Each structure stands twice: as C-alpha cells, then as structure tokens.
Structure 1
Amino acid sequence: MSTLYIGLMSGTSLDGVDGVLADCAGPRPRVIAHAESPLPAPLRAELLALNTSGHDELHRAWLAGNALMRLYADVAMRLLADTGTEAAAVRAIGAHGQTVRHRPGQFDGTGYTIQLAQPALLAELTGLTVVADFRSRDVAAGGQGAPLAPFFHHAVFGRDDAAVGVLNLGGIANLTVLRPGGGQIGFDCGPANALMDGWCARHTGQPFDREGAWAAGGQVHAGLLAALLAEPYFALPPPKSTGRDLFHPAWLQARLDAWPGLDPRDVQATLAELTARGCADAVRLHGRDVAEVIVCGGGAFNAHLMRRLGALLAPVAVVASAERGIPPQQVEAAAFAWLACQCVEGRKLALTSTTGARGARVLGAVYPA
C-alpha cells in the first residue's frame, strides 16, 4: 500500500495555499516536494469577509469553498507533475480548508469550528481520496479543535535528550512543547501575522511587512502594548485556541482609540512586539525547560520578529525550522499530509493534553476517490 500523501493548507494569514507531497512511511515523514499558489485577491477578500456575519453568507461561503478547492486541486496536480508521480501512487490528500469561524465550547457547550472546503469537489477534480474536516471530531469530544499540528511536530522535531518548543507563526501563533518520552502540550498563544498584515496593508498597500522592516523602523508604544496585552485571553491556561473571531481589526481599533494620532509605523512596531511578547511569555510559562524554540510559518521570515524572539527568550536558541529539516512554509501542509495518513490508517490521536478533548479520537472524514 502506498505511503505517499499530499497535504494542502491555507492558514489564517490568508496569503496562499501551500502543498506538499510527503512519504509517511516510518515514524518520521519526509517531504518530497512543495508547491504554492497565492490566493487571488477577490477570493482572499471574500474569505476574510466571511470571518464575520454578512449578507447571504451561506451562499457565498459555499462558492468560496468551491473556488478554494479549485486552487487546492491546481496545487495538488502541480505536485504530481513536478515529481512525475502518478495519481494512483498517492494514498490520499489531506485538505485543511480555510478557517472562517472558530468558537469551540461556546453558545451551547459544544460550539463549532468551520473550515471552508468542498472535499467532494476536490476528490472529483483530482481523482484522489480526500481527507478533510479534521477539527470537528475534536470539538465534538469537548476539545478546542486546535492546535492539531503538535502530533506532527512530535514526529519530526521531537528529541530524546531535551525538551523542544515549536512555534508556528501563521495568522495566529501557536506553541507546542515536546518533552522526551512523548509528553507534549500545545495551544494558541495569540495573534501572529493577522494583525500585522492587516495594519500593513491598510497603511502601506503591501500585503505584509517584508522581513519586518517597517516595524523595525518604528517605536513600540508602551501604553498601547500594555492595553493589547491586557486582553484576558493571554492569561487563560491551556488548552486554549483562538482566531480572527477575537483578534480582528475592530479589536485593535478599540484599543487604539485611547491614543489617536499614533504614527502607523509605531503601531506596526507595537503589533510586532505584541506577537513577540505573547509568544515569549507562553514559552516562559509553559516551556521553561526547552533547549530550543523552532519557528515555522510565515513569521519565520520576519527578521525583526525573529530578532525580538531571540532577545526575549535568550539564552534559549531560536531557530527557523529549515535548520531542523523542514522549511517554515512547508510544515503546516506536511502536518496535514501526516494527519491524513493517521486517519486513513485508523489511528487515534491522544488529544487531551493539547486540545482538552475527552480522549483519543480518529480525526478527519474520508471522501474516497
């Protein structure tokens, strides 16, 4: 039976789709190839708009999901073409979809998490088995539905001789702490790129602050930083998860109102410091024994943010995941290739220490080719 899987991921940064072809034979999966595609501007705008209630949103969400699956299919087909791999050689695609709402445990005691995806359409477009809807079972079992990547992090970054932190800096930051012998915890720290990217686009017209250069030229505003860090989410104990449902432009504006007329560059510097402080505080509270922190996701390319993390966490080493075998932009897609393998093989994941679910569950729904 084939051990090749494709993982497809579009994260809360809304910057594009990443895909990998991975060999999941053995305990340590291996990435064979990577492909990516930016989100077309109209689709990105619609997915961002669907994070909040709006007119005819069920209709719009379904069509946006269709459009996203066509983009997913293009990336998957490119991976096959680039590597000369026959579709029949791939066991399944793990398709995360696009998170537009994340409210676990709320309203009725169960809540929900929504990742826009049309896995049936993706199966039709590719002719491959598709595994999707990874988070719902965890939420149904009383969990946060996130983060799920810690299980994969253990497979690729875990060490027998020391504890390791893995910090994923996408739209939202999440931390995994891996300890020798298999112990792990994982949770969302708070915002990473979501607020910074939105502020940068609003004031510079650029989709993100390349290498953090704009923020590096500003001054952190102590009062604004304190107001941002006063958000109660930061003080919650894990397991916990968050998203754009909480950390959105209106949340930021409500705190900016106390300081009208701030230089936009200083706000950007303060948002970068918010991300760095939120992550560093999480490591100090829950991973004080880690020997190093491995950073993945788009934030790993933000040189200013990486410098601030290094300064705040010293003497603990802060390294990009490329130094440990997987480039930062490939880690999340590889995680969903690996999670698809666990689902197809019927393996239950012990979720309690990361998401707070009531016990081990098989995650994902299978759409056969």
Structure 2
Amino acid sequence: MTPLYIGLMSGTSLDGVDGVLADFDSAGGALRVLHHVARPFDEPLRQELMALNSPGDNELHRAALAANRLAREYAQVSLALLEQAGADRSQVVAIGAHGQTVRHRPLEFDGTGYTLQLHNPSLLAELTGIAIVSDFRSRDVAAGGHGAPLAPAFHQAVFADPDHEVAVLNVGGIANLTLLAPGRDALGFDCGPGNALMDLWCQRHLGRPYDAEGAWAAQGRVLPELLSSLLAEPWLASAPPKSTGRDLFNPGWLDARLSDTTLRPEDVQATLCEFTASAAAQHLRMLQAAASTLIVCGGGAYNTQLMGRLAALLPGTEVIDSGQRGLPPLQVEAAAFAWLARQRVLEAPGNLPSVTGAQGPRVLGGWFAA
C-alpha cells in the first residue's frame, strides 16, 4: 500500500470532526479517499468551543482544556479510520489537523494581526503515535496574508477543468468561494455566512442543531427588508483578498438586525437561507465570473432549499454537489488537510498568494514528530 495521510476537519459549524484516510498516486499526486469517519461533538464541548469565540472569564485556562479535549476527539477519529482500513499507524506519514478556529483577525491591530486555532498537536501525536502537521494558517498571516481560505489550493488540485471555468463553493459555518479559470491564477475568498446563522436560528427556535435539508426554511417566505439589511453589511462589498468568521457573523450581528420581534421564525430562516445564497451569487457577479459549473461542498450541499436558491440566482450555471465530481461534500475539507499535510512533507507551498494576499508561496504547517 502507498503511504497514507489522515486529514481532520472541525469547522465553524461546530458540529464535530470529519476525518479521511487518503492515499496519493505516486506519479501524479492524485487523491483517493479510502475511508471517512464523522464524530459529532458532545453538547458541552460544542458549547464551550462556541463560547470561546467570544471574550470570557478565565478563557486561557478554558481554551487550553478545550484544546486537550479536541485533541482526544481527533485521536478517536484517526484511530477509527485505521481500524476501518485494517491499517497500521506506521503506514501513515502524517495527520493534517488545523484545530478549531476561535478568533480570526488577520492584518488588524498591528498590521499583522493573528489567527487562533485551538489544538494540542503534541497530545494528538502522543495519543496516535503518528506525526502531526498543524498550525497551517499562521505562516501565511506572517507573510502578510489572511491565512484563509486555504481550501482553494486544494480545490485547484482536484476540481480544476482545463477547458472550462469552474467555481467551488464550500458552505460550512462560513462560506468560501473559489474561482478556477484555465490559464489564470485561482481566486478565492470567504464570501459570507454559510450555515452559521441558519444553524443559530434553528437551535434557538427548534432546539435542533441545523435545518435538515432546509425543510424549515422552505416553509417560510423571504422578507425583503430583512434581506436588504443583511446584504448591506459593508464587509460583503469589500474587495478580495478577504476572510471572516464568527468574529463578524455571530448572534449579536444577527440580533442587531432583528428589531421586529413579530417576524415569523420560519420567515427569518427562509431569509437567512436566501442571504447565504445571495451573498455567494453576488460575489460571483462581482468577479464577472463565467463559471459553467458551481461545485458545492460542505454541509450546506445537503440543504436542498439552499441548493435550489443558488440555482435560481445563477441561471446558466450548473449547480452540483462535489459528490458528482468524485468527492462527497463532507469529505472535501478533511481531504484538503490531508493534502496540505502532504504538501508540508514535500516542502511544497500550501497557500495561493492570489487567494490570501500573502507576499508569496509559503510552506505551511508546523511538524510534531510521532
């Protein structure tokens, strides 16, 4: 068997960890996902990670303990992948695990800013006996970039079409967009909230973690005034490179735009779904993109209402999920971190300066030996 890599992803949706076991063709570096494991966070960990997105009491202590818990979750997923495959840990070159982003403020305050991911890669190495590649974003930030999104380099490697312009939309907690045009540098940036606000509203009113298939949103109607208020957010009109997170699109941001308490909750949900779709569509129009296909990945690809609204807002563009291109939506970001770990092993760049705004290509990630 060829050398293996594990990629782990816990994103801004805060729903849990997705992991893949992957190998790469030695000749062309083509990715093949062998196994996928998803492990949901228990509610106390999810709540703590959510709380740590905002300033709070004794947060350094709490963050350190949450990082330990997260490393243990990562270890459980990694070991489950090996068990599924009947593989030995010695076959795995490295685990790529970037941690849980809780603050993302690149280029701010002192001109460099910071991006902060909770993780304890040393503990993960101890628990798995496998080398860890972590801290992928900070080198790009140190080089004057946003450190995000990192997925476009991977999107370019697996989804680019030599004959057609293709766009990739990852809808996690935050949505990011990649534009791949033959003969041109890839473009990519965060384009607004993905599932974060929809999930928040669903949890608040239905007590459910998310709106399965967008069924609740489909019961409501879009509120034009509220939608206009949401789309008036200045960040949406800013030019790339750009990135965002729960630092901006958080409960306080939404509540400040919901002064009318008589709105039907399902109508607000329908409007939040439309907001996510409209923000992505507007960014594609802003770039004057001529993408023949929009490939959607992340949990949002399973939101039937969202996929329908994207198709309606982008006539002439085929809207498909990434599974139709060989990589199921919930595997894409985990696979991206397996790919980024391999880039680190090869001492090859993992960023795209045309995406992040960094001063040049950089090898990303710190190495924690087994």
TM-score by length of 2: 0.98
CA distance in 2, matches of 1:15, 1:181: 38
Unaligned runs of 5+ in 1: none
Q: How does 1:111-126 map to 2 (within 5 A)?
A: 111-126=113-128
Q: Indicate the residue corresponding to 1:65 in structure 2.
A: 67
Q: Indicate the residue corresponding to 1:308 in structure 2.
A: 309
CA distance in 1, matches of 2:349, 2:213: 39
CA positional deviation for 1:265: 0.8
Answer yes or no: is 1:277 the counterpart of 2:268.
no
Q: Indicate the residue corresponding to 2:158 in structure 1.
A: 156
Letter in 1 for 2:18: D
What per-residue deviation string (whole Å, max 9, x for no partner) do you get for residues 305-339 of structure 1?
00000110111000000000000000000000000
CA distance in 2, matches of 1:311, 1:60: 44
What per-residue deviation string (whole Å, max 9, x for no partner) do you get for residues 273-315 of structure 1?
0001001111222252111000000000000000000110111
CA distance in 1, matches of 2:154, 2:285: 23
CA distance in 2, matches of 1:156, 1:352: 18
Decide which of 189, 196, 208 is 1:187's aligned counterpart.
189
Secondary structure of 1:256 counterpart: coil
Q: Indicate the residue corresponding to 2:291 in structure 1.
A: 290
Secondary structure of 1:347 counterpart: coil
Q: Indicate the residue corresponding to 2:361 in structure 1.
A: 360
CA distance in 1, matches of 2:326, 2:95: 22
CA distance in 1, matches of 2:340, 2:112: 23
Q: Indicate the residue corresponding to 1:89 in structure 2.
A: 91
CA distance in 1, matches of 2:350, 2:132: 19
Answer yes or no: is 1:38 the counterpart of 2:40.
yes
Which segment is superposed worse, 279-288 or 153-162? 279-288
CA distance in 1, matches of 2:267, 2:15: 24
Q: How does 1:330-345 map to 2 (within 5 A)?
A: 330-345=331-346
Answer yes or no: is 1:17 the counterpart of 2:29.
no
Q: Indicate the residue corresponding to 1:7 in structure 2.
A: 7
CA positional deviation for 1:30: 1.2
Q: Indicate the residue corresponding to 2:261 in structure 1.
A: 260
Secondary structure of 2:183 counterpart: coil
What per-residue deviation string (whole Å, max 9, x for no partner) do you get for residues 54-90 of structure 1?
0000000010010011010000000000001110000
CA positional deviation for 1:181: 3.4
Identity over aligned residues, as a percent? 62
Answer yes or no: is 1:172 the counterpart of 2:200.
no
What per-residue deviation string (whole Å, max 9, x for no partner) do you get for residues 202-254 of structure 1?
00011100100101110111111101100001100110000000000110010
Which segment is superposed worse, 349-358 or 135-144? 349-358
Question: CA 1:83 to 1:331, structure 2 compared with 1: closer, same or farther past 3 Å?
Answer: same
CA distance in 1, matches of 2:350, 2:127: 30
Q: Indicate the residue corresponding to 1:132 in structure 2.
A: 134
CA distance in 2, matches of 1:30, 1:3: 12
CA distance in 2, matches of 1:182, 1:149: 17
Task: Confirm or deny: 8 A CA contact 1:101 1:113 kept in the other structure.
Answer: yes
CA positional deviation for 1:182: 5.8
Q: Indicate the residue corresponding to 1:54 in structure 2.
A: 56
Letter in 1 for 2:38: E
What is the RMSD of the two structures over their aligned residues, measured on CA atoms? 1.1
CA positional deviation for 1:96: 1.5
Letter in 2 for 1:345: L
Letter in 2 for 1:329: L
What per-residue deviation string (whole Å, max 9, x for no partner) do you get for residues 182-210 of structure 1?
62011000001000001100000111001
